[in-house]
Each structure stands twice: as C-alpha cells, then as structure tokens.
Amino acid sequence: MTTTPTAAFPADAPGALGRGEAGAPGPASGRRSAGTVARGLVALTKPRIIELLLVTTVPTMLLAQRGLPSVTLVLATLVGGTLAAGSANTINCYLDRDIDAVMKRTARRPLVAGGHGTIRPGEALAWGIALGAGATALLGLMANWLAASLADAAILFYIFIYTLLLKRRSPANIVIGGAAGCFPVLVGWAAVKGTIAVPAIVLFAVIFLWTPPHFWALAMKFRKDYAAAGIPMLPVVAPAVEVTRKIVWYSYAMVAATLALVPYAGWIYGAGALGLGGWFLAEAHRLHALVARAGPSGANPGATGSARPAPIRLFHLSIGYLTLLFAVVAVTALLPWGRW
C-alpha cells in the first residue's frame, strides 16, 4: 500500500489540522469560522451522490403508492435518506482519508490535511454517527422501522462491506459494495408499504447492475489515481478491453432488469425503458469497440476526436440514464392510464 501523508502524520494529533503535507499552514490554520466548518461537514456527506440516491427514492415511493404519498411521508423519507447517505459518506471519508490524500480527484476533501483540511477526523466520525442516528430516528418515527432498518443496513454495508472489506482488496469492490447504493429504493418502497415487494427488488436489481458500468467508466478515466492509491478497481487490474466487455455484460443485464418491471409498471414505462436501454447499450458497445480498436492498453495515440475511447462519456450518460429511467417510473406511476 502506498505510504500516504496522513499515514506518517496522524491527523488526529493535536495541531495536525491545517498543516500541509510539508508542514506548511493549510487553509484551516488557526480558528475556523462556523461557515467554514459547516461547509466542510456538508462536503463530507458528498451531496452530489446523495442527489442521485434521492432521484431513485421518490419515483419508487410514487410507484409503491400508485399515486402521490403524503407530503409528510415523502419529506421524512427524503430527509431520512439524505441523513443516512450523508452518514455513510462521511464515515467513508473518515476511513479513506489516507487514500483520499493520494488521489487527485479526492485530494481536496475536507478531511485531507494537505487539501482543505477544515474538519478534524474525530469531528467527522462524530458527525457521521450523529447523521446515522438522526436518519434512524426520523425514518423509524415518521415512516416505519423497516425503512429505518434498511437505511441502517445500507450504512453498515457501505462502511463494513465496501469501505473496510472490499475497497482495497478486491476488483469486485464496486460490484458487491455498490449494493449499498441500491437500498434507497427499498427504503422508499418500505416507507410507503411497510413491506418489500417484487417491484422494489427489481428496482434494486436495476441499480445494482447499473453501478459497475457507471463506476468502471469513472475508474477508467482515473485509473492512474486509483493505482497510485493502491485500490484494485477493475480498470487498474484488468486490461481495458476486459473492463469494457464487463461493462457491456452488465449493461445487458441492467436493461433486462429494467424490462422485468414492465408487467408491473405498464407499457409506457416499457417503451421508455426500452428506448433508454438501447441508448445505454449503444454507448457501452461504442466504448468497447473503441477500446478494442485501441489495443490492449486501451490508449490509441493515433486516434483523435470521436475515435478516441472516452469512458467519462459513458459515466455522464449513466447518470442521465438513471435519472430519466426513474423519471419514467414516476410519470407512469402518476398516470391514470398506460398500465396493462
């Protein structure tokens, strides 16, 4: 494992905060304003990721209700889900602060001493636990305890299975660990129904199968970063063409899973899922073809413009795909027609 700045420099030590890697004063030297701390605490929750989790929760609630659930329940579930995801992300930042310092993409996170360094590790851990407790209480009291238990399971899965067990050890880290990101649909369904049903499990499957293409596309872009941090993401340990082949496999499995919801969600949803699935598959195949043409290394110095493999394009497309797919779920749940 790479020696990191924080490994040689205990960030929990008094006075550690705010110093740069070479001991130079960092942005958090001296007293921190409340605004700085607040911004740091919010940044630890990774709000951009939470946004995507919530995009999947509300349509699932609409589908479970076959209409609009009570506004109070929707708000409670959204706030509870936000707190739960924020808790998992914050504790993840706490545990991964050593490798975050090594990776360019994460080097400016609030816990990285050489980056922003605005939050002490102990504060981050306490913040993460408090968010988790708040999520449990809110979901349990305002929705039901099954929803609260599922949110807790997601937090624990993300921390113990993904972050601590798999992330630094297995190329399957994001595949299995990605299941944590599928829980919001179960939470949303359970909040409305008090149980779990087949449509919720199908949506769980959709996100589970969507996660590898999404993250492997990102990891292809930041392959050197992950390699420097010693994280065995698939693009780090496998040839690029093998990664894109797996992306294509998972994409087909994901599209098949989206179609499994058709008997429940109706033909309008089916048409939308088919169209969006075709779009995703076309992009996955395009990436695979470009990478295969580029050779084993995945880099084709001679290629220019659209002929150059651009995995980040699939990454962005995957976000749009999931958002649109769940938008279709929401619309079909609200429409009085369009079902079988």
Partner 1 sequence: MADSAGGAWSFGSSILTFAFPMILFIVVAVALYVLYTKPEVVPGHRTPSVERPVSYTAIPGTPAATEVPGSPASAAGAPAAPTSPAGAAGSPAGDGARAGQGENAEPEARA
Question: What residues make contact with partner 1 under the rule CB under 8 A?
Answer: 144-146, 170-172, 175-176, 179, 186, 190, 194-198, 201, 204-205, 208, 212, 223-224, 227-228, 230, 232, 234-240, 242, 246, 249-250, 253, 296
Would you say 153 or 274 has its CB closer to partner 1?
153
Would you say 49 or 260 has its CB closer to partner 1?
260
Q: Look up tokens 């913040």; give the residue.
A: 127
Residues in CB range of 303: below 8 A, 6 or more apart: 290, 293, 294, 309
CB of 56 to partner 1, least distance (A): 16
DSSP state letters, 48-102 = HHHHHHHHHHHHHHHHHHTSPPPHHHHHHHHHHHHHHHHHHHHHHHHHTHHHHHH
Answer yes or no: are the C-beta atoms of 121 and 94 closer than 8 Å: yes
Q: Look up tokens 């992300």; give the residue.
A: 89
Angle ∠(297,216,258) on CA atoms, nearest 5? 135
Amino acid at 210: W
Tell me, what DSSP letter sits at residue 113? Answer: T
CB of 303 to partner 1, least distance (A): 19
CB of 73 to partner 1, least distance (A): 11
Would you say 169 or 308 has its CB closer to partner 1?
169
Would you say 28 or 147 has its CB closer to partner 1?
147
Q: How many CB atoms within 10 Å of residue 153?
A: 16
CB of 134 to partner 1, least distance (A): 19
**Distance of alpha carbon 322 from alpha carbon 317, whole angstroms:** 9
Would you say 49 or 196 has its CB closer to partner 1?
196
CB of 160 to partner 1, least distance (A): 15
CB of 50 to partner 1, least distance (A): 23
